[in-house]
Chain A
Amino acid sequence: GENVEQHPSTLSVQEGDSAVIKCTYSDSASNYFPWYKQELGKRPQLIIDIRSNVGEKKDQRIAVTLNKTAKHFSLHITETQPEDSAVYFCAASIEAAGNKLTFGGGTRVLVKP
Chain B
Amino acid sequence: DTAVSQTPKYLVTQMGNDKSIKCEQNLGHDTMYWYKQDSKKFLKIMFSYNNKELIINETVPNRFSPKSPDKAHLNLHINSLELGDSAVYFCASSRVLAPAYEQYFGPGTRLTVT
Contact = CB atoms under 8 A, between A and B. Distances in A.
Interface of A: 32, 34, 38, 42-46, 49, 51, 87, 89, 93, 95-96, 98-103, 105-106
Interface residues of B, number: 24
Interface of B: 31, 40-45, 48, 50, 55-56, 90, 94, 97-103, 105-108
A102 B44 CA distance: 7
A81 to B, nearest CB: 22
B2 to A, nearest CB: 11
Nearest to A108: B41
Contact of A46 (B42, B43, B103): B103
A34 B90 contact: no
A101 B98 contact: no
A17 B66 CA distance: 44
Given A43-B107, A43-B108, A106-B41, A100 B98 contact: no
18 contacts: A32-B99, A34-B100, A34-B102, A34-B103, A43-B90, A43-B105, A98-B55, A98-B56, A99-B48, A99-B94, A100-B45, A100-B48, A100-B56, A102-B45, A103-B44, A105-B40, A106-B42, A106-B43
3 cross-chain pairs, A with B, having the tightest CB-CB distances, nearest first:
A32-B100, A43-B105, A103-B43
Contacts of B102: 34, 46, 49
A42 B41 CA distance: 12
Contacts of B100: 32, 34, 49, 51, 93, 95, 99
Given A87-B41, A103-B42, A106-B42, A98 B103 contact: no
B14 to A, nearest CB: 24
B17 to A, nearest CB: 25
B90 A44 contact: yes
B97 A98 contact: yes
B99 A95 contact: yes
B45 A101 contact: yes
A43 B43 CA distance: 11
